[in-house]
Structure 1
Amino acid sequence: MTSAVPAPDLAATTLRLIDVPSESRSEAEIVGLVRELMPGSPTYDDGEVLLYGEGPIVLAGHVDTVPAQGNVPGRIADGAVHGLGASDMKAGVAVMVELARAGVPARYLFFTREEVPVSDSPLPGLFATGMLADAELAVVLEPTDNDLHAGCLGNLQARVTFHGESAHSARPWTGVNAIHELVRGLQPLVALAPEDVELDGLVFREVVSAVRVGGGIAANVVPASAWVDLNARFVRPGMEEQLRALLPDGELEVIAESPSAPPALGNPHVARLRELVPSVKPKQAWTPVAQFAEQGIDAINYGPGATAYAHRVDEQVPIANLEQCYEVLRVFLTD
């Protein structure tokens, strides 16, 4: 494929976006830059969500990033754009901007607060207007290395607390050590193997991980309580119930839950896109395709970002990825 937009334009736009810090909940400046770069006026603008254009296909991208790690400002070197958010997902946003500036027909959706719990997402406000009710497909430009990533895993965060009885650490037999109870209670989790689940010929892997642990108040006190934070990734419903059954000796509290999304490979627009992008993989992570799926809108992940570099201190995106993604979407949206 020959890119219709020179790589320096795509790279320069990506770099310009990188150089505007936009950690989640601090995105006002980057939203202003998107307004400046996009042609025309938005059809929806509440300060957190911008929607432009018309048509059956929605291109969607978030403008926020994880916290900086000394990787702002960015730079262009060695055939790549480097810096915070380069892959996740200012590269995708840059492709969207340049497609819009070239007059490629689509709806262009930019939004904030994606790198935080889904309960903080501003997208429900847009969905409530019904302005996307007639959308036939959403392409979310999350980093996929220019492969199609179908569906996504659900994401459940929970805290499990184990209780005991405090005592002097010199006489532990007079109490019940909650940390010891936690260690014993977590044995079923330690023995739990990942479980593969096939949907539409794609294999997703359901997993549960202990990600943080705490307990105790002093070195000479047998602790009366101890807790562990769990992160579960799933495609089937009922993960909360599975965790309660797995760890019956603990008290489980769900902190946050984001739904999974089906692959949507039967969508006719996805079938056309697959002619341009034959490589299809399951999305072994959560993305906003789940929010579109909840609204009855088929969605798929496709973007230029390099998955191996997302959220890293050396985050980067190859310029060739930008060119390829731009040209694929240009052909997809205009043919």
Structure 2
Amino acid sequence: MPDSALDLRQDAARLTARLVDFPSESGTEKALADAVEEALRELPHLSVTRYGNNVVARTGLGRSERVILAGHIDTVPIAGNVPSRLDEHGVLWGCGTSDMKSGVAVQLRIAATVPEPNRDLTFVFYDNEEVAAHLNGLGHLAEAHPDWLAGDFAVLLEPSQGQVEGGCQGTLRVHLRTEGVRAHSARGWMGANAIHAAGPLLARLAAYEPRRPVIDGLEYREGLNAVRIEGGVAGNVIPDACTVTVNFRYAPDRSEEEALAHVREVFEGCGVAELVVDDSSPGALPGLAHPAARAFLEAVGGEPRPKFGWTDVSRFSALGVPAVNYGPGDPNLAHKRDERVETELILHCEERLRRWLTS
């Protein structure tokens, strides 16, 4: 078999190792997308389409329900952790093992080994998830070919340690700018220090008490935090400008507009000269009351948890498709130099999905 080929007869753990050894940092996914497309086109029960480095495969059995299994094929930059390494405890180490090539391996195995599922299936493999939102392949598919993403329910195989995580938080990032008057630091009374002027808004952040709303039985925890501060001209100059970057992670019962209004309200009266939105992505409600979601929960077991963080379930939610996160990786290990995944959990997730789709 050529080095560029994927053997879908391998179990999901071995297939994960093969995918990890296929470097695909964001923006360099073409070779892996080629291999995924080639492997899927060999399966006669699937129709395969491609848009850029995004590959979509579908069954056409006329079932009453269609389920989407989706995952991104890119990783963050490699940190000396490729090729993969399997240790004596059955743990696979390497870039992307957890986020999320183990989930992609499970997708590929289901595509190859479940030719007649009890629900029609759409498999989505997309690029550029780990970088700026405007580059996201799933977003490009949603804009150019929303019909390819039509379905009744979606499972995003993001790392969740084999537990269902419902919905996701929204995220808003803003720049808060304070102003002053530049002067020589030896005569500071002749100026006004913009960094000092940021004190009230930092105090407001330190005293902030985030909400913990319960939605569909899941408790989400919001967070409003300073993530960066910039200011200063030179070691002998009173600064006339300072910018504090604040990130608001909010529960999915707020809209983007409501989240921004809340942030403006929090910092009212703090002397902020300008508030600029740098990034904004809406959250997604859990949707656990949907019949397909209930059936999925019954099949895979465990207690659902809220998703702390933003994932592409938000894009499915915007398309009217209820979605959950469910994958074998550990989200706490994502992007780390010592990223790893338990091979037993990869096989467990594969078997649970197969049982749901064949029972």
TM-score (normalizing by structure 1):
0.94
For the pair 1:220 / 2:236, whether they are aligned, the reply is yes
Checking the alignment, whether the CA contact within 8 Å between 2:47 and 2:59 is kept in structure 1 is no
Aligned match of 2:134: 119
Checking the alignment, whether the CA contact within 8 Å between 1:42 and 1:50 is kept in structure 2 is no
Moved over 4 A (4+): none
Q: Deviations over 1:64-90 (max 9, x none)?
A: 111222111111112111100100100
> How many residue pairs were aligned?
330
Q: Deviations over 1:13-32 (max 9, x none)?
A: 10111112212222112212
Q: Deviations over 1:157-189 (max 9, x none)?
A: 111111111000001111110000012332111
Cα RMSD after superposing both structures: 1.8
Match of residue 243, structure 1, among 263, 267, 276: 263
Checking the alignment, whether the CA contact within 8 Å between 2:71 and 2:100 is kept in structure 1 is yes
Aligned positions of 1:37-186 closer than 5 A: 37-38=39-40, 39-40=42-43, 43-54=48-59, 56-77=66-87, 78-104=89-115, 105=117, 106-127=121-142, 128-132=144-148, 134-186=150-202
Change (3 A) 1:7 1:177: farther
Change (3 A) 1:122 1:134: closer
Rounded Cα–Cα distance in structure 2 between residues aligned with 1:283 and 1:111: 21
How far does residue 133 in structure 1 lie from its aligned partner after superposition? 5.9
Q: Deviations over 1:277-302 (max 9, x none)?
A: 23200111111000000011111111
Question: Which 5+ residue runs of structure 1 have no aligned equivalent?
Answer: 1-5
Q: Deviations over 1:22-71 (max 9, x none)?
A: 12222112212222333447532012211002360110000111122211
For the pair 1:288 / 2:298, whether they are aligned, the reply is no
For the pair 1:267 / 2:278, whether they are aligned, the reply is no
How far does residue 118 in structure 1 lie from its aligned partner after superposition? 2.2
Checking the alignment, whether the CA contact within 8 Å between 1:159 and 1:228 is kept in structure 2 is yes
Change (3 A) 1:155 1:278: same
Aligned match of 2:325: 301
Checking the alignment, whether the CA contact within 8 Å between 1:7 and 1:323 is kept in structure 2 is no
Equivalent position SS for 1:11: helix
Rounded Cα–Cα distance in structure 1 between residues aligned with 2:48 and 2:140: 14
Aligned match of 1:322: 346
Checking the alignment, whether the CA contact within 8 Å between 2:13 and 2:347 is kept in structure 1 is no
Checking the alignment, whether the CA contact within 8 Å between 1:265 and 1:271 is kept in structure 2 is yes
Rounded Cα–Cα distance in structure 2 between residues aligned with 1:169 and 1:42: 69
Rounded Cα–Cα distance in structure 1 between residues aligned with 2:128 and 2:24: 10
For the pair 1:12 / 2:14, whether they are aligned, the reply is yes
Checking the alignment, whether the CA contact within 8 Å between 2:177 and 2:244 is kept in structure 1 is yes
